Amino acid sequence: MSINVTIKDVARAAGVSYSTVSRVINNTANVDENKRQRVIDAMKQLGYVANLQARSLAGGRSQVVGMLVPDLGNGYTGTILQGVNAEATANEYEMMLYTTHHRKVKEPLYVQTLTRGMTDGLLLLLPVDPGAYLESLRGKNFPYVVIDHQGFDTFSPTVVSTNRQGAYDGTTYLIELGHRRIGFVSGSNHTSSAIERLRGYRDALEAHGLSYDEQLVVPGNFDQPDSYRAGLRLLDLPERPTAIFATSDISAFGVIDAVHERGLRIPDDISILGFDDIPQAEWINPALTTVRQPLYEMGRRAMKMLLDYIEEPDAPTQRLVLSTELVIRATCRRITD
């Protein structure tokens, strides 16, 4: 394995011109079978590895996709990333990762850099304020896919899950267990998933003839500390709920902290339901009952979709909706009176 073997080295070794080598690499035209074989042998022997930069600069594909995530270190992002990564690897694509740490201002800049030759396409997870640059990407006809889109534009290819139905199912489950006062720790009001989940909750209440009580809905922002406070507020209500539906697992962890703080037991004194099913959901004790989003699959499918767009940039806008699923574990319990 020598240092920096180029296409020219291969050409020399195989006794052909270097454009012929390019042809066999890219399978872009017919090459004499004999020569083709010689080239392949030479590549193998010299340990040729393509220089992706040069390739992409010359107008080919860079074989790299960019991915913008809000943060790392939590199961949500991690699991989606795994899905993306699996599909990328399977298609000989590399992944370039950017973290915005929820800082709005960074997104446009990153998107700019990423689309300047570096990448063939872009995956955006939970973008904070995509309006600014999504249109520009679209204008350039630059391939991108949004995962868990938090806005409502109709022109962006998107992979989401059935937030509303999931919340509906979760709430219904609690109702069927006999709960009548169900606390709801909501996400931030600006994101569509939060709004959808709240809607699902309300739908379910209504469908079962329960009235919506504003007091029972407290914002948790998909954040543990915020949700801890939200939990406390719900628990300290004059008429305490018998169940709390936290709309993300992280949020549920915060609520669980609050429950313990108040010296209550789960699920004996109160039932807790989460949303997402990140890996940690089954690590805690008792294991968290939650509405599962197919995170890994969302990542995988988004990458697949992006690959399609890279292949065919003018394909019509797709919107893939994956199903959520109630995962019953140990934090919810039937009301017995």
CB of 297 to a copy of itself, least distance (A): 14
Q: Which of 325, 261, 329 is nearest to 293 (CA)?
A: 325
Shorter beta-carbon distance to a copy of itself: residue 82 or 192? 82
As measured in angstroms, the least distance from the Cβ of 57 to a copy of itself is 5
* Binding positions for a copy of itself, 103-162, rule CB under 8 A: 112-113, 116-118, 136, 139-140
User: Binding string to DNA for residues 181 to 220, with x set by CB under 7 A, is what?
Assistant: ----------------------------------------
Among 12, 40, 46, 60, binds DNA (CB under 7 A): 60
Residue 1 near which of DNA, a copy of itself, none (CB within 5-8 Å, type-dependent)? a copy of itself
290 pairs with which residues across the strands? 274, 327
> Looking at this protein, which amino acid is placed at residue 296?
Y
Query: Could you say whether residue 40 binds DNA (CB under 7 A)?
Result: no
Q: Which of residues 106-145 bind DNA (CB under 7 A)?
A: 117
DSSP 114-178: IIIII-SEEEEES-SSTHHHHHHHHHHT--EEEES--S--SSS-EEEE-HHHHHHHHHHHHHHTT
Q: What does 75 interact with, of a copy of itself, DNA, none (CB < 5 to 8 A by kind)?
A: a copy of itself
Check binding of 212 to a copy of itself (CB under 8 A).
no
- Which residue in the set 25, 46, 284, 322 belongs to the binding site for a copy of itself (CB under 8 A)? 284
- Interface residue with DNA among 1, 2, 12, 19 (CB under 7 A) is 19
- Phi, psi torsion values for 85, nearest 5 degrees: -60, -40
Q: Which residue intervals of the chain are DSSP H helices?
A: 7-14, 18-26, 33-46, 52-57, 75-90, 106-113, 131-140, 163-176, 192-207, 224-235, 249-261, 295-311
Report how far residue 115's alpha carbon sits from residue 92's, in angstroms, rounded to the nearest whole number.
Answer: 19
When asked if residue 327 is in the footprint of a copy of itself (CB under 8 A), the reply is no
61 to 64, 65, 105, 118, 199: CA distances (angstroms): 8, 10, 29, 9, 43
Within the chain, what is the greatest distance between any pair of CA atoms?
A: 87
Residues of the shown chain interacting with a copy of itself in the complex, contacts defined by CB under 8 A = 1, 3-4, 47, 49-54, 56-57, 62, 64, 71-75, 77-79, 81-82, 85, 89, 94-99, 112-113, 116-118, 136, 139-140, 224, 253, 256-257, 260, 279-280, 283-285
